[in-house]
Structure 1
Amino acid sequence: MQLTTEELKKYPVFGIAGNFAEHLSQAGEDADFVNVKTKEADAPKGMFPIYLPGFDNFLSTFPLSSETIQAEFTDTLNLHLEPEVCLLLHVDYEENQVRKLTPKAFTAFNDCSIRRPNARKISEKKNWGEASTGIGQDWIKVDSLSSGDKLDDYHIISMIRRNNDVLAYGMDSPVVGYQYFHEKLLNWMIETFNEQQDFGPLEPLHNYLAQIGYPSEVIVTLGATRYTAFGETGFLQPGDELGVYVYDATQTNAEDVTAHFSNNASQPFNAGCFLHQRVSAIKNT
């Protein structure tokens, strides 16, 4: 299935921080969460808003693009591709509390991030304007996140093309490698939507849901994979071509996925879903 831009503009978008082991330390952001306590050692650190339609600050700017990442490169800019899988979720409420999240579809996501060491909130590193985040055009329908269901067979892999060289960016990672997944992840998200407070880099999500009218659908991106040695310090540059694939490992493999990006990125990808973007510099006027 596909969603038009006008449809996407209706859906709030949230991200999960620290749902893949070692990603935060590779991104240089583990210190941001030093005072954030979790119930389990391997639990994600929290959730953050990326886009809130109709909100009263910068988060109301629609940042999603399936073609482009754009930013100002006038100064040194540490801009990272963040390869992820995202879910479209139906939300059920009871007495204005989130009571159930039902998966409807998934696609590839680039939770692109500017490494701003002095940012107060995670969201300040995510939404800096139009085309600051990436989302795949093709969605694959699901009706469950239960163990053994469709998504268990999928992997996430990413790469970039720079100066005609194709370079692995994120490590080939099974979706079940997320630290929280299946019903455990859904239950954790429900609790986080209802209970997360304004603390450190985190924000009061339930207050935000109330302010935007308790939306019945949301998009949640589940967390970035570990970087390759190149990806850890290989910040994006204008002209880079980006690929994020969520592929069915029962149908293809990492080598064939890389070949698709290298040779046929303009063609359909039949073994999953993918995101193909180019990085461009915003011209000052």
Structure 2
Amino acid sequence: MQLHDAIGLGVAGNFTHHLEQAGELKDFENVITAEADAPKGIFPFYLPGSDSFLGLYSIGTDTLDLPDYEANAQVEPEIAVLFDVVYNEHKEVTDLVARQFTTFNDCTIRKEGAKKISEKKSWGVNSKGIGDKWIAIDKFEEGGVMDHYHLCSFVKRDGVVHPYGVDAPLPGYSYFYGKLKTWLIDKMNTQEDFGPLEDISAHLKASNYPQQALISIGATAYAAFGEKNYLKHGDEVYVIAYDSRKDTSDLEPSASKVILHQKVS
């Protein structure tokens, strides 16, 4: 699916321990949240029509291109949800309608001195990864199709498959379903340019108020290998969403499993 007209946004800090493991908790030390477990904010990774580096469509499906420099890149295994965006007459976001979801690699470089999260997120073509299969969302609330899905990830290096992120049920996100949607709408309208965060309403305006938003809703905590190992050329990345009633967390495809498989170049 081509998403060139959809704004690409990510959620920072929506899974326990991820920011600590990624060494990024200090970036948000001055960001105040309503609750202790609330996400820290949202950030752009793709802005349609922008003249900045974020205007380059960076989302691939089978290849992950590392920067030419020593980047300290890590997989960020996530679920991405495609939302329809509803605006009022004042161009404020009033609703997000969840349509479908897939797996996502919000690959991030651990870049010293970066002032904004977005500076670590997109460095060229194929710096992100998205699954090539989508699951329709019947309802973005408890009792829907997402209840039983888990997210896991692996890196295959030198023929050995290593768990990269922990295996996590989707309802294990700190904010999910209605609570996440309400929070997203608020941040899209009110988040200010502060610290590592950016004014999302200004980005929506500059992007001519996109009708859809691809939102990666947060990365899981890392398994031991993922916490200690950056990506190398020749690695293979797997980000997998599977229905725990039908599937297991292996690399084998099935009708209800969504697998993002990228070769690192």
What TM-score does the superposition give when structure 2 sets the normalisation length? 0.97
Question: 1:18, CA displacement in angstroms?
Answer: 0.1
Question: 1:252, CA displacement in angstroms?
Answer: 1.2
Runs of at least 5 residues in structure 1 that lack an aligned partner in the other structure? 261-267, 281-285
Instruction: Indicate if the aligned counterparts of 2:48 and 2:55 stay in contact, CA closer than 8 A.
Output: yes
Match of 2:263 in 1: 278
Instruction: Indicate if the aligned counterparts of 2:138 and 2:145 stay in contact, CA closer than 8 A.
Output: no
Cα offsets for 1:72-120 (capped at 9, x unmatched): 34x4321000100010000110121000000000000000000012101
Residue 209 of structure 1: SS of its match in structure 2? Answer: helix
Which of 53, 78, 85 is matched with 2:79 structurally? 85
In 1, Cα distance between the equivalents of 2:110 and 2:12?
14
AA in 1 matched with 2:94: R
What's the RMSD between the two structures over aligned residues? 1.0
In 2, Cα distance between the equivalents of 1:23 and 1:275?
20
Match of 1:265 in 2: none
What TM-score does the superposition give when structure 1 sets the normalisation length? 0.91
Question: 1:20, CA displacement in angstroms?
Answer: 0.1
In 1, Cα distance between the equivalents of 2:99 and 2:138?
5
Runs of at least 5 residues in structure 2 that lack an aligned partner in the other structure? none
Match of 1:11 in 2: 6
Match of 1:198 in 2: 193
Q: Does residue 1:27 correspond to 2:12, yes or no?
A: no
Instruction: Indicate if the aligned counterparts of 1:102 and 1:143 stay in contact, CA closer than 8 A.
Output: no
Question: 1:148, CA displacement in angstroms?
Answer: 1.6
In 2, Cα distance between the equivalents of 1:246 and 1:82?
14
Question: 1:144, CA displacement in angstroms?
Answer: 2.1
Instruction: Indicate if the aligned counterparts of 1:159 and 1:170 stay in contact, CA closer than 8 A.
Output: yes
Q: Does residue 1:170 correspond to 2:155, yes or no?
A: no
Instruction: Indicate if the aligned counterparts of 1:112 and 1:126 stay in contact, CA closer than 8 A.
Output: yes
AA in 2 matched with 1:153: H
Which of 119, 127, 132 is matched with 1:124 structurally? 119
Cα offsets for 1:250-278 (capped at 9, x unmatched): 11122xx24x2xxxxxxx53222110000
Which of 32, 35, 42 is matched with 1:37 structurally? 32
Instruction: Indicate if the aligned counterparts of 2:67 and 2:123 stay in contact, CA closer than 8 A.
Output: no
Off by >6 Å, runs of 4+ in structure 1: none
Match of 2:134 in 1: 139
Question: How many percent of aligned residue pairs carry the same amino acid?
Answer: 45
Question: 1:233, CA displacement in angstroms?
Answer: 1.4
In 2, Cα distance between the equivalents of 1:57 and 1:186?
28
Cα offsets for 1:23-73 (capped at 9, x unmatched): 000000000000000011110000000001101210001100001110234
AA in 1 matched with 2:221: R
Which of 211, 214, 219 is matched with 2:209 structurally? 214
In 2, Cα distance between the equivalents of 1:172 and 1:232?
14
Residue 271 of structure 1: SS of its match in structure 2? Answer: coil
Instruction: Indicate if the aligned counterparts of 1:244 and 1:276 stay in contact, CA closer than 8 A.
Output: yes
Query: What does residue range 226-245 of structure 1 map to in structure 2 within 5 Å?
Result: 226-245=221-240
Instruction: Indicate if the aligned counterparts of 1:102 and 1:144 stay in contact, CA closer than 8 A.
Output: no
AA in 1 matched with 2:70: T
